[in-house]
Chains A and B, each alone.
Chain A
Amino acid sequence: MKKIEAVIQPFKLEEVKEALKAIGVDGMTVTEVRGHGRQKGHKEVYRGQEYQVDLLPKVKVEMVVASGRADEVINAVAAAAKTGKIGDGKIFVYEVAEAIRIRNEERGETAL
């Protein structure tokens, strides 16, 4: 199993969700986060007082899928989240040791 963690532009969330639904990914966890990569923040000025805002609003989408489907999911997320401009975000992939469905204690890929 692989965990796929995508940090994306907030306004791309709907498109990413649609793309995942289209390829049959059922579960995900979405968090509103703040951060930046190579993208620089922006400057705000209030009565001459300047503030450099580095941490920008982003959305983190996390899902765990069967190893065989990882590439398909990654491609779907990347295609949906892409604008081609700096700040589009990143996708990280992790190995997952185990998954347990709390309701009936199913384990492994059947628990996904």
Chain B
Amino acid sequence: MKRILSMLSLSLAGAAHIFAQAAATPPSPTAALEAGVKAAQSSADNAWMLVSCALVLMMTGPGLALFYGGLVRRKNILGTMMQSFILMAIATVLWALIGYSLSFGEGNPFIGDLRYLFLAGVGGDPNATYAATIPHQTFMTFQMMFAIITPALITGAFAERMKFSAMLLFTVLWSLVVYYPLAHMVWGNNGYLNAFLGGKVPCLDFAGGTVVHISSGVSALVCAIVMGKRKGYPNEPMKPHSLVLSFIGACLLWVGWFGFNAGSALGAGSLATSAFVATHFAAAAAACGWLLAEWMMQGKPSVLGGISGAVAGLVAITPASGFVKPMPALVIGLLAGILCFYMVVKVKNMLGYDDSLDAFGVHGAGGTLGAILTGVFATKDINPAFKDAAGVPLPVGLLEGNGGQVVNQLIGVAIAWGIAAVLTFVILKIVGAVTGGLRVSPEEETEGLDLSQHGEEGYNLDA
């Protein structure tokens, strides 16, 4: 009863307030209508973006944790899953304190400034520069999920042998000097490669081909080379201990990727649908591509091949997803499936490095292919990225007659490769010196990361 009374008095007060306003300035009906439409669009966009945030987090945990966890030996399942999970914690804290500001503060073309330090000023009002219809906080959260999964992708390269302490320090430093600058250059206001916000070189990267996949994939390659092979590789059997877990993980990644790519439209409009469709088509075609190549060259189409292919297609379509039509998406996927199969099955063995879970073969190679093909297939019909002074859309990709875009894409690729390769090497040297070696001891490696690093086992079947 008391509650009803207080509600009543509140609504009365509200009515009086509205009445007072109305008396002061009679609202024009169109202004009220416009405000209503704006509020409705904001709610709709925000609903999709919050779902997308959750979907992208699901890609890291449990998606990637299961995908990678199933591929290692039984004694390393927890250590591997923990490397993904801990980033859901560490990368989040780092993002809140400084990461968002360094990535999306205006700063200079290469790194953001400290205006959003401790998330100052990041609240419910939209930041019109980045996304005019959703709360700034939603934008910040969405971008955070990318900052979590990107270092988690690298962990596939040093699986089964990196010290937990070294892994923590490595990913913190890597976020600071590789991820944040690269995210700023491609997506930040005034970033050097930003095609939409005044970049010198307009490189098209819708959802992270350069920022996420090239950066993590190339860094993974450097990690694999610097850290060396797993003990016994390639002579001892190192079979994936549970492809069932990997299968579940890969399918969660596929679903989560709809948030990753379609969410990168930063709204719930037709561009989000277009990116959703392109994403799905590329994954499907890439699964077919990898399986076909595998069947022809090795005699059997494997489940691991199918899911690896799907992930490769998702990687390759990431930069292109908001720029291409469905048929080019199929082509990009098919090519990615075949290329990544070749990289993982042939090139890796030829060169002899131990990229244990193929972070480079899938993310580095697929990301590079996708970034370049974005410049080929991007079209103004999907995303009028470039306009002339009168606002008329200009050709975007090579097939529309803008051959220069492929060059822009190649510059973006080269910068991402360079930053990732050089700085990862430097960070590894520093981390190795600070933590007394990047690797666990040979005894600990034999024992497994679960026991040696975390003091527990994944499967206590006798318990």
Give per-residue flags for B164-201: 1 if the beta carbon is below 8 A from chain A beta carbons, else 0.
00000000000000000000000000000000000000
Instruction: Assess whether A49 is in contact with B300, with CB atoms less than 8 Å apart.
Output: no
Q: What is the total number of residues of chain B having a CB less than 8 Å from a CB of chain A?
A: 17
Give per-residue flags for A31-52: 1 if the beta carbon is below 8 A from chain B beta carbons, else 0.
0000000000000111111010
Instruction: Assess whether B345 is in contact with A48, with CB atoms less than 8 Å apart.
Output: yes
Give per-residue flags for A48-80: 1 if the beta carbon is below 8 A from chain B beta carbons, else 0.
110100000000000000000000000000000
Most chain B CB within 10 A, of A45, A46, A48, is at: A48
Q: Which residues of B contact A44 (CB under 8 A)?
A: 239
Instruction: Assess whether A48 is in contact with B344, with CB atoms less than 8 Å apart.
Output: yes
Give the residues from 349 to 364 in chain B that come closer than 8 angstroms, CB to CB, to chain A.
Answer: 349, 358
Interface locus among B302-310, B331-339, B441-449: B302-310
Most chain B CB within 10 A, of A45, A47, A49, is at: A47
B62 proximal to A (CB < 8 A): no
Q: Which residues of B contact A46 (CB under 8 A)?
A: 239-240, 302, 304
Q: Which residues of B contact A47 (CB under 8 A)?
A: 304-305, 308, 344-345, 358
Q: How far is the CB of B32 from chain A (nearest CB, A)?
A: 61
**Which chain B residue shows the least CB distance to A53?**
B237
CA distance A104 to B302 in the complex (A): 57
Q: Which residues of B contact A51 (CB under 8 A)?
A: 237, 239
B25 proximal to A (CB < 8 A): no
CA distance A45 to B299 in the complex (A): 10
Q: Which residues of B contact A49 (CB under 8 A)?
A: 234, 238, 349
Instruction: Assess whether A45 is in contact with B239, with CB atoms less than 8 Å apart.
Output: no
Q: How far is the CB of B365 from chain A (nearest CB, A)?
A: 13
Q: How far is the CB of B299 from chain A (nearest CB, A)?
A: 8
CA distance A48 to B348 in the complex (A): 10
**Which chain B residue shows the least CB distance to A44?**
B239
CA distance A49 to B304 in the complex (A): 12
**Which chain B residue shows the least CB distance to A50?**
B298
Q: How far is the CB of A38 from chain B (nearest CB, A)?
A: 23
Q: How far is the CB of A45 from chain B (nearest CB, A)?
A: 6
Instruction: Assess whether B344 is in contact with A45, with CB atoms less than 8 Å apart.
Output: no
Give per-residue flags for B300-328: 1 if the beta carbon is below 8 A from chain A beta carbons, else 0.
10101100100000000000000000000
B454 proximal to A (CB < 8 A): no
CA distance A46 to B70 in the complex (A): 12
Q: How far is the CB of B278 from chain A (nearest CB, A)?
A: 26
| A45 interface neighbour in B234, B237, B302, Cβ under 8 Å | B302
Q: How far is the CB of B69 from chain A (nearest CB, A)?
A: 15
Q: Which residues of B contact A48 (CB under 8 A)?
A: 298, 344-346, 348-349
**Which chain B residue shows the least CB distance to A47?**
B344
Q: Which residues of A contact B348 (CB under 8 A)?
A: 48
Q: How far is the CB of A44 from chain B (nearest CB, A)?
A: 7
**Which chain B residue shows the least CB distance to A49?**
B234
**Which chain A residue shows the least CB distance to B238?**
A49
CA distance A49 to B308 in the complex (A): 14
Q: How far is the CB of A95 from chain B (nearest CB, A)?
A: 36
Instruction: Assess whether B298 is in contact with A45, with CB atoms less than 8 Å apart.
Output: yes
Q: How far is the CB of A27 from chain B (nearest CB, A)?
A: 26
Q: How far is the CB of A55 from chain B (nearest CB, A)?
A: 11
CA distance A51 to B241 in the complex (A): 13
CA distance A49 to B305 in the complex (A): 12
Q: How far is the CB of A98 from chain B (nearest CB, A)?
A: 34
Q: How far is the CB of A81 from chain B (nearest CB, A)?
A: 29
Q: Which residues of A contact B302 (CB under 8 A)?
A: 45-46
CA distance A48 to B308 in the complex (A): 12
Q: How far is the CB of A12 from chain B (nearest CB, A)?
A: 25
Q: Which residues of B contact A45 (CB under 8 A)?
A: 298, 300, 302
Q: Which residues of A contact B349 (CB under 8 A)?
A: 48-49
Q: Which residues of A contact B304 (CB under 8 A)?
A: 46-47
**Which A positions have Cβ atoms within 8 angstroms of B?**
44-49, 51
Supply 15 A–B pairs (Cβ within 8 Å), ascending by A.
A44-B239, A45-B302, A46-B239, A47-B304, A47-B305, A47-B344, A47-B345, A47-B358, A48-B344, A48-B346, A48-B349, A49-B234, A49-B238, A49-B349, A51-B239
The 9 closest A-B pairs by CB, nearest first: A48-B345, A51-B237, A47-B344, A46-B240, A45-B298, A46-B304, A51-B239, A47-B345, A46-B239
A47-B304, A47-B358, A49-B234 provided; 19 other pairs, C-beta below 8 A? A44-B239, A45-B300, A45-B302, A46-B239, A46-B240, A46-B302, A46-B304, A47-B308, A47-B344, A47-B345, A48-B298, A48-B344, A48-B345, A48-B346, A48-B348, A48-B349, A49-B238, A49-B349, A51-B239
